[in-house]
Structure 1
């Protein structure tokens, strides 16, 4: 019998790109690497259960892995495209009229799943390019909700956002197939 622990790695160490994150060096590099590791955690928690990504947690919640992917695509888009880059673009999955459509619209349709991943990857790519090209972490933009925010604050907020939702992903994945680990 194999004993399982929540502290075990979700994948074998040699396959876990999260372990590539810098632990010393410049602030931008460390923040970008920690955020990349959080993004990779979301991908790992969703891997291998594509047909169950829309499975809800428990009634009446609409929380699902697919909903998290859609939600985080919108969060990436909001902070990096809309706030920091100043682009006048709509969110992808939520609207003012349907603020929870990122979760409510997460249905078990292969086209919906594919679109969520395509959107999420596009927003992550934009964010990574934006961070790499920014002159420094002190650039600021005005957010209607928080006021002036710096790139540094957005990176820290995004790490927190992913970390919180990756905790949800842990529970959702365990409900789907019993997989546990970090």
Structure 2
């Protein structure tokens, strides 16, 4: 893969700046929801303008790719909001006990896989946003086999951390694909 000699600033401008326009003061819920929305928007921005290239792997032997991150984060959203907080008896969409890396290993440049992955991510984000909006307070609890009792507050903080960490991966992968850099 040839990386352009000149890096482009794809991630500057109005779309980039609007991501972090949420409140910096005020009530806790508004700030947490806005920060998570900004992290989700960052993932979308890092993937913007790509289709088949989303499946490009980072560095061997890693299976990490932008599309794998989309699929992984769809599963993470599903686990914490739908299964743990809402108590739905659902399986993850891409990972299974038999294929724990299915979110990354099951990627490919086929347009159907790309579309399915984005549709799953959008569906899980929409479910999470509705659940958070309808929750009476941040102390609403769910139960997780790994952590035990967890509050909506903890899940929101965890999701911000999860996206922020993986958005760092997305920065490096995107730069490798086409040289695009930015915050």
Q: Secondary structure of the equivalent of 1:176?
A: helix
State how far apart, in whole Å, the 1-side matches of 2:17 and 2:50 are.
Answer: 18
Gaps of 5+ in 1: none
Q: CA deviation at 1:35?
A: 0.1
Q: Do the aligned residues in 2 keep the contact of 1:17 with 1:40 (CA within 8 Å)?
A: no
Structure 2 residue runs of 5 or longer lacking an equivalent are 1-5
Count of aligned positions: 178
Partner of 1:166: 167
CA contact (8 A) 2:82 2:128 kept: yes
Look up the match of 1:18: 19
Aligned to 1:121: 122
**In structure 1, how many angstroms separate the alpha carbons of the residues matched to 2:161 and 2:82?**
19
**Residue in structure 1 matched with residue 51 of structure 2 by the alignment:** 50
CA distance in 2, matches of 1:14, 1:83: 32
Deviations 1:129-156 (A, max 9, x none): 0000001000111110001100000000
Q: Under a length normalisation based on structure 2, what TM-score does the superposition of the two structures give?
A: 0.93
TM-score, normalisation: structure 1: 0.93
Given that 2:7 and 2:180 are in contact with CA atoms closer than 8 Å, whether structure 1 keeps it comes out as no
Cα deviation for residue 20 of structure 1 reads 2.2
Equivalent residues in 2 for 1:1-182, closer than 5 Å? 10-13=11-14, 16-182=17-183
